[in-house]
Structure 1
C-alpha cells in the first residue's frame, strides 16, 4: 500500500478533511477494494489529529458505503467501493441558497413520485398516507414543529410510488432539507394562514393519489414544492435572525 497521507493543517472541519483524504485514496486506487485501512492509532499519527476526528471520518466513509468494519479485524475498503454512492460535498449544503437548490431537485422528484403513487398505490399505501397526514395534524395540535412527521409524509408518497431508487434518492436528500423544514415550520407557527396553506397542499396531493389522478397528483406536488421554496425565501428578516442558525446546525450530516 502506497498512500499520500499528510498532517491536517487547514481550519476546515478536521473530520471532513480526513474523510476526504481517505476517500481520495480509495477513489484513486491507492487503497483497493478489500484492503485494510491503517489502524486508528496509525491514522491519528499520520494525520496529526485526535482519535475522535478519525472515528468521525471513518463513520462518514461507512455512511456512504466506502468502508466497512469487521469485528476484531479493523476497517476495510468495501469490496464494492467502485460503485460511487450518491454523495454531496457537505460544504455545499451549508447555506440558504443550497436549501433552495435542493428544493428545486426535490420538486421534480416529488412530482414524479406523486404521479407514480397515483398509478401504483395499494390499499395499504392509502392507509399509510392518511395516517401520515393525521400525524402532522396531531403534531401541530400538540404544539410541535411537525418536521419529522412532514419528512415521513413525503416518504410515504415515495413508498406508494413503488420505485426503490426514488425512495433512496429522496431519503438521501431529506437530511439536507430537515433544517429548512424546521425553519419554515417554526415560521408557519407564527402565521396561521401559512400553516393552513401547507395543510391544504398536503391534502391535495393525497386526494389526487387516492383518486388515481396521476396528472393532478403531479401538479399538486409541484405546487407544494414551489410554495415551499417561496415560504423559505419569504420568512421575514427578524425571523431568520432568530431561527436561521438552525440551518447550520441541521443541514450538514454530523458523520
Structure 2
C-alpha cells in the first residue's frame, strides 16, 4: 500500500502518503489507521517517524487518537488547512515562479482593497515601511524583512485578516527567493531603481485611492519580480 520512505523529510513524506490513502478511502471500512508498529514496518521507518507523521495529521484535524483504541480518521477530516511541502516549494523547478503567480493574483487585489480602505494612519504606516526598505539598503542589508513588512503594511490597511494570513503563509516559501533577488538587485543599479519605482507606484496609487492603478502597479511589480528571479537563475 505504501512506498518505503528514505529521505531527510521522512515524517512529512509519511504524512503525505497517509493523507493520500485517507483521501482514497483506504481506511473507510473501520475509520481507523493501522497500528504504529504496522505503519513503521510498511514504510520502513522508525516508530518515532510514524508518531511525528500522525502528530502532523492530528494537528491539522485529519485524525484523532482515542485512548486505548487507536488513531481514527476525524469526522471533519475533509476540511483541511492549506499545506505545501517546503522542500518541494523551494527546490522543485518552477515552484517559486508558481508561488509568485499566486502571490501576484492575491497582492493585486490587496493593493486595490488598500486603495479603497486606507486611512491617513494606514498611509503613514505604509510610508514608514517603504522608508525602512531604503534605510536597510543604504546600510548594506538585503532588505528582505523590510520588503515583506512593506507588503504586510499594505495588507493590514485592507482590514481583511485573510489577506494577511494568506500572504504570511506564502511568504515563508518565498523568502529564500527574495533574498536572492534582493541580493541580485543590490548589484544591479537598474534593478534597484526598478524596485524603488515599482514600490513608489503602488504607494502613489493607494494614496490616490485609485484601486485600478494600485492593482496594476502591484501586478507589474510581481511580474517584474518573477523576471528578476529568472535572470538570477532562480525559478
TM-score by length of 2: 0.77
SS at match of 2:82: coil
Partner of 1:251: none
User: What's the CA shift string for 1:21-44, capped at 9, x where partnerless?
Assistant: 332355456779xx9988988865
SS at match of 1:144: coil
Q: Residues 86 and 173 of structure 2 are in contact (CA less than 8 Å); yes or no, is this contact kept in structure 1? A: no
Contiguous gaps of at least 5 residues in structure 2: none
Distance 1:156 1:196 in 2: 21
Partner of 2:148: 151
SS at match of 1:199: helix
Distance 1:125 1:29, change over 3 A: farther
Q: Does 1:138 align with 2:123?
A: no
User: What's the CA shift string for 1:93-113, capped at 9, x where partnerless?
Assistant: 223522112222222211111
81-90 vs 212-221, greater mean Cα deviation: 81-90
Distance 2:55 2:214 in 1: 38
Distance 2:72 2:143 in 1: 39
Contiguous gaps of at least 5 residues in structure 1: 248-255
Distance 1:122 1:161 in 2: 10
Q: Residues 8 and 14 of structure 1 are in contact (CA less than 8 Å); yes or no, is this contact kept in structure 2? A: no
Partner of 1:208: 205
Q: Residues 5 and 14 of structure 2 are in contact (CA less than 8 Å); yes or no, is this contact kept in structure 1? A: no
Distance 1:138 1:37 in 2: 54
Q: Does 1:191 align with 2:188?
A: yes
Distance 2:64 2:198 in 1: 42
Distance 2:42 2:102 in 1: 39
Distance 1:61 1:181, change over 3 A: farther
SS at match of 1:184: helix
Distance 1:59 1:176, change over 3 A: farther
Shift of 1:127: 2.4
Partner of 1:19: 15
93-102 vs 209-218, greater mean Cα deviation: 93-102
Distance 1:76 1:195, change over 3 A: farther
Distance 1:161 1:233 in 2: 31
Distance 2:32 2:123 in 1: 47
TM-score by length of 1: 0.72
Shift of 1:189: 1.6
Partner of 2:175: 178
93-102 vs 10-19, greater mean Cα deviation: 10-19
Partner of 1:160: 157
Q: What CA RMSD, in Å, does the superposition of the two structures yield over aligned residues? A: 3.5
Q: Residues 113 and 211 of structure 2 are in contact (CA less than 8 Å); yes or no, is this contact kept in structure 1? A: yes
